[in-house]
Amino acid sequence: MNRWVVDSSMALAWALPDEGSPTADRFWDEVQSGARLEVPPLWWYEIANALVVARRRERLDEDKAVRLSILLARLPLTTATSPAGDDLQRLQALAWKHRLSAYDAAYLELARSLPAGLATLDSRLADAARTEGLTVWNP
């Protein structure tokens, strides 16, 4: 698979010094080899919020947060369009079926609709993706 929906947990493992992950490191190799990365619009808000919270908790200083913002913004990402109409019903149905937040269901729905694999460190989201017949990053 060369097309992946990337959730914020994977990207934050690359960015935040205390959230490293061997799985995320191996996925970074996939990114470097030219994988196509897709994100729902909410990804940007989740990343921004995580950096703000990291600053509040003194996990990052302002300079590092700015540098990380710039680096994450340079990732080769394609941002999907915002959901509308029937998309909202599908998001709710997926969230309900798998006991996910609507936010996590957005990653699942995007991966289903493209189709693409899902790159996440969230075990509940990964399990839901596998149940839906999607490929989950796990080298």
Q: What is the pLDDT of residue 83?
A: 76
Q: Is residue 139 part of a domain?
A: no
Q: What is the pLDDT of residue 14?
A: 86
Q: Is residue 42 part of a domain?
A: yes
Domain range for residue 79? Answer: 3-131
Helix (H), strand (E), coil (C) string for the chain: CCEEEECHHHHHHHHCHHHCCHHHHHHHHHHHCCCEEEECCHHHHHHHHHHHHHHHCCCCCHHHHHHHHHHHHCCCEEECCCCCCHHHHHHHHHHHHHCCCHHHHHHHHHHHHCCCEEECCCHHHHHHHHHCCCCECCC
pLDDT band at 1 (very low <50, low <70, confident <90, very high): low
Of 51-55, 63-67, 110-114, minimum mean pLDDT range: 63-67
Q: Is residue 119 part of a domain?
A: yes
pLDDT in tens, 29-51: 888 888 899 999 999 999 999 99
**pTM, 2 dp:** 0.90
pLDDT in tens, 75-132: 899 999 887 777 888 899 999 999 999 999 999 999 999 999 999 999 999 999 999 9
Total domains, the chain: 1
Which CATH number covers residue 87? 3.40.50.1010
The predicted model gives 61-70 an average pLDDT of: 89
Helix (H), strand (E), coil (C) string for 17-53: HHHCCHHHHHHHHHHHCCCEEEECCHHHHHHHHHHHH
Q: What is the pLDDT of residue 30?
A: 87
Q: What is the pLDDT of residue 139?
A: 56
Phi/psi region, residue 58 (left: phi>0; alpha: psi -120 to 50; beta: rest), is: left
Asked whether residue 57 carries a pLDDT value surpassing 80, the answer given is yes
Q: Is residue 101 part of a domain?
A: yes
Q: Is residue 77 part of a domain?
A: yes
Q: Is residue 49 part of a domain?
A: yes
Q: Is residue 137 part of a domain?
A: no
Q: What is the pLDDT of residue 21?
A: 85
Q: Is residue 138 part of a domain?
A: no
